[in-house]
Amino acid sequence: MSATARRPPGHPPHSRPVPTDPAVDAMVAALPKVSLHCHLIGTVAPGTVAELAAKHGVPLGRGVEDLYDHDSYQDLGEFLRVLDVVGSVIRDVDDFHRVTYESLTAGGADHNVLYREIQLSPPGHPGVPYPRILEGVVAGLRDARSDTGIDARLVVGINRERSGAEAVELVQQVIEHRVDEVVGIGLDYAEVNGPPGRFVEAYRLAGRAGLDRTAHSESGPPGHVLTLLDELGCSRIDHGYHVVDDPEITSRCVAERIPFTCTPVSSDIGRYSGSGDGTHTRIRQMVDAGLCVTIDSDDPPMFGTDPTHDFRVLAHALGYRREQLAAFTANAIDACWLDGTGKADLRRRAAAMVAATPDAPPPDHSHLLEETP
Ligand SMILES: [Zn+2]
């Protein structure tokens, strides 16, 4: 694969501008990242969507420039409609190879992402058989690894807006077409339309087959976290910001070191992690409570972000510097589903990169000391 093929066309601008600070920008770019909360359909650059739509004769109804209108994603339904359009243009083995390769190279390795667990959504590609998805994605993953060194595994996502029986069928397919790259299952789409208790049977089936388990909880009550841990057997939670509303559940998650895969930019726009004002209040509360937090980008181009930019916004909003940001990567290595040898290798590589990264000066709060007239 040539270097030019790594550059997906049409990069959208960042969603919320942050102040330019060369020292912070150099630091966040150089730090190692481990990506545990990223959806394959959500990583497709707009130019690639346009090219695949043209290839398959699918009318997009809008131009590449405004394909991803992240300001409209406060409404989760609007976001999911765009996601469905993107999923519908990824159809053949070459398409799956291409989007996986671009996600892991331009969208991953170029940001110092060492390892990613990508969530696939087979129900998001209507009419495409699961083995065809797997063939293209696994080939893209292997090519990205041999070209850049980035490693990746796959998490198969259940659409929680569908029935529990459909979820069981999907898990059965995952088991029937088992490959080493698929290490677990997840649960996505709108939590309000699919409470976690609906998927106990599918999750238990996955657990018996030795698959690891995670699930989204972005808008549900803190009690959903207990359902995910105790009934679905999840070993980590995607988002989970509302856990801090319940001190007892928070204490348990701290004691058991349950990882929460947080996504600052997408969750700020979706208003799950705070008031949508860029303060990232809940992420700060989770870190301060001692929870195991990891940082990722969810659906990067769709929300005008990328793995470096999510680090950058926390550096600016919360004043985090090298040690705090490196701790998110260390947490993600603990939380990932590689074996002990794989984790030890990641720890060694990440530690060397952190040591080689100059820290940025602490944030300047002098303006807070100025007297107001
Ligand atoms: Zn997500």
Q: What's 270's domain CATH number? A: 3.20.20.140
- Has residue 364 been placed in a domain? no
Cα dihedral 87, 91, 96, 99 sign: negative
The larger pLDDT score, comparing residue 350 to residue 69, is at 350
* Inside any domain, residue 107: yes
When pLDDT is cut at 50, 70 and 90, the band that residue 2 belongs to is very low
Could you give the CA distance from residue 65 to residue 81 in angstroms, rounded to a whole number?
Answer: 17
What is the per-residue pLDDT across 285-294, written as a single tens digit (0 to 9) for each? 999 999 999 9
Measured in angstroms, how far is the CA atom of residue 38 from the centroid of ligand 1?
6
**How far is Cα 308 from Cα 18, in angstroms, rounded to an integer?**
12
| pLDDT surpassing 90 at residue 336 | yes
Cα–ligand 1 centroid distance for 264 (angstroms): 11
* Res 130: pLDDT: 98
Mean pLDDT across the stretch 9-20? Answer: 71
Alpha carbon of 320 to those of 142, 150, 328: distances in Å?
34, 26, 11
User: pLDDT tier at 62 (50, 70, 90 boundaries)?
Assistant: confident
Assigned domain for 10 exists = no
Q: How many domains in the chain?
A: 1
Find the angle CA(36)-CA(41)-CA(46) to the nearest 5 degrees: 120
Structure-derived torsion over alpha carbons of residues 131, 341, 152, 163, reported in degrees to the nearest 10: 50
Is 84 within the bounds of a domain? yes
pLDDT at 71: 78
> Which token pair is 202?
């599918």
Range of the domain at 113: 17-355
Q: Is 8 within a domain? A: no
Question: Per the domain annotation, does 289 fall within a domain?
Answer: yes
pLDDT at 12 over 70: no
pLDDT digit string, tens, across residues 296-328: 999 999 999 999 999 999 999 999 999 999 999
Q: How confident is the model at residue 217 (pLDDT cuts 50, 70, 90)?
A: very high
The residue ranking higher by pLDDT, 6 or 208, is 208
Average pLDDT, the chain: 93
- CA of residue 147 relative to chain centroid, distance: 22
Q: CA geometry: angle at 93 spanning 155 and 57, to 5°? A: 115
| C-alpha distance from residue 327 to each of 192, 251, 272, 333, 356 (Å) | 32, 20, 23, 10, 15
Separation of 263 CA from ligand 1 center, angstroms?
A: 8
Q: What confidence score (pLDDT) does residue 3 get?
A: 44
* pLDDT(198) > 90: yes
Ligand 1 centroid to residue 39 C-alpha, Å? 6
Q: Is residue 216 part of a domain?
A: yes
pLDDT at 4: 46
Residues 121/299, Cβ–Cβ less than 8 Å: no
Residue 72, pLDDT score: 79
Please write the tens of the pLDDT for every residue from 234-253.
999 999 999 999 999 999 99
Does residue 2 fall inside a structural domain? no
Between the CA of 267 and the centroid of ligand 1 the distance, in Å, is: 9
Of all residues in the chain, the percent with pLDDT exceeding 90 is 80
pLDDT (tens digit per residue) in 70-115: 877 777 888 888 899 999 999 999 999 999 999 999 999 999 999 9
Instruction: Report pLDDT digits (tens) over 25-39.
Output: 999 999 999 999 999
CA distances from 216 to 118, 196, 238, 239, 319 (A): 14, 9, 4, 6, 27
Q: What is the pLDDT of residue 81?
A: 86
Distance 33 CA to ligand 1 centre (A): 17
pLDDT at 10 over 90: no
State the pLDDT at residue 367: 64
Residue 226 Cα to ligand 1 midpoint, Å, equals 19
Report the pLDDT value the prediction gives residue 18, as an integer from 0 to 100: 85
At 49-60, the pLDDT tens digits run 999 999 999 988
pLDDT tens digits, one per residue of 110-163: 999 999 999 999 999 999 999 999 999 999 999 999 999 999 999 999 999 999
Ligand 1 centroid, distance to 188 Cα (angstroms)? 7
Active site residues: 218
